[in-house]
Amino acid sequence: MSRASTRASFDVPDSFNFKRPNEWPKWKRRFIQYLIATGLDKEDGSRLVGTLLYCMREDAEDVPASTDIKENSLTARVCAVL
């Protein structure tokens, strides 16, 4: 049996709600669980940032563009938080 056929599939966390800061810690825990379950926690920073923005959905797509943070600085900051 190949490894690919035994690999589990996981749904991404629910979309991130920017308007409910009280839910952010719960969403972060769920996102970290998703990273661990999928093995993405072992990936490089740029892949983690891409995964984070994808999981947060459309509202997060403008965040990097709306700041003056350079790409590698953004990656470092995200990795530090996770």
How far apart CA 12 and CA 63 sit, in angstroms, is 20
Sign of torsion over alpha carbons 17, 47, 5, 1: negative
42 or 8, higher pLDDT: 42
The arithmetic mean of pLDDT across residues 62-69, rounded, is: 58
Q: Measured between alpha carbons, how far is residue 48 from residues 1, 2, 62, 74, 82 in Å?
A: 30, 27, 17, 11, 9
Q: Report the mean per-residue pLDDT for the chain.
A: 77
pTM given for the model:
0.70
